[in-house]
Amino acid sequence: FYITANFIAPLMPLLLYGAILRDNTSCQVILALSILDFVIPLYPGPRGKSQPFIRFSSCKDGLVSYFHAEIISECDFDPQKNYSVCYFPHSLFAIVYPLILEFLETKHGISLLFSVADIIFKIPIVRRFMTAWGATCVSESALKTNLKLPSPHNVMMVQPDGIAGMFYGLRHEQIVLAKRKGFVRVALQTGSYLVPCYTFGANDFFHRKFGGDSVAAKVSSKIRMSCVFWTDRFGIPFGIVPNKTKLVVVLGPAIGSGVPVDKPTQAQIDVVHAEFVIGMKKLYDRHKHRMGKKW
């Protein structure tokens, strides 16, 4: 579903053409549903998250059986504190979200929220499904609000490398982190803890073709929407069958003081960012053996 959603926005002009100029019934029905979707209020965050829908649509068991996916946590989540789970690498998308969501809910009683690009909430129908799964806006104002929520919504998953991260890690493990400090500033301002998170194997479940210096990467950055080309397990362009690779999710110890800093200085941000970088590197080194000798 998430992969298919990438094509809805560029196909909207064709939908309008079919519905209005070609009088196509299928296009007219989809267009009517799209209009209705924007008429009905949408509530990203705790209010819009639907546990029945999540249970119905969860692919956690499929992740475990197909990828032999597993999750290891070194973080003791306190219900009285707020946490920002910083997920790396971005790859095509955070495929293990259902695994992390169920782990946190089962072990800690946490109802996980996650941030997505604001453009998602402008795509009809897709935005409603994403909201039901727990998606919220990635804007700074939304992050600040959500990182102050009480338990069980006290944990937020973010992807600091954003769209740029989708174009790295093609040939070896690589993340966009050195210049990404906005998530640290927000964590300081809200008094939330940063939790390093790395998914081994995330770069391998689809074959992406263009790197960080490609035209596709530059265009994606400009329009703030991914223009990623990939092939699936059978070499089919934009295919939906992932490679059968092992996936291991690791969550590191929480970083931060938990004390809000209304206006953090650049020096304060740099100190916490450096601590996070070190924590991420150590987390990676502690667990890379789980992927076998090639790692």
Distance CA 177, CA 280 (A): 10
Give the mean model confidence (pLDDT) for residues 234-255: 95
Contact status, residue 80 vs residue 150, Cβ threshold 8 Å: no
Contact status, residue 135 vs residue 116, Cβ threshold 8 Å: yes
| Integer Rg of the chain from CA | 19
DSSP label of 237: B
Give the mean model confidence (pLDDT) for residues 191-216: 94
pLDDT, tens digit (0-9, with 9 covering 90-100), for 31-68? 898 899 999 999 999 999 999 999 999 999 999 999 99
Contact status, residue 100 vs residue 209, Cβ threshold 8 Å: no
pLDDT, tens digit (0-9, with 9 covering 90-100), for 99-122? 999 999 999 999 999 999 888 898
Calculate the average pLDDT of the chain: 92
CA separation, residue 191 to residues 6, 45, 136, 149, 267 (Å): 34, 19, 19, 12, 17
pLDDT band at 17 (very low <50, low <70, confident <90, very high): confident
Ranges of beta strands (E only) in the chain are 70-73, 83-88, 113-116, 135-137, 155-158, 193-200, 207-208, 230-231, 248-251
CA atoms within 13 A on the CB side of 22: 12
**pTM of the full structure:** 0.91
Q: Is the pLDDT of residue 124 over 80?
A: yes
Task: Name the phi and psi angles at 106, rounded to 5.
Answer: -70, -45
High-pLDDT (> 90) share of the chain, %: 75
> Which residues share a beta bridge with 135?
114
Q: What is the largest CA-CA distance in the chain?
A: 61
pLDDT, tens digit (0-9, with 9 covering 90-100), for 274-285? 999 999 999 999
pLDDT band at 293 (very low <50, low <70, confident <90, very high): confident
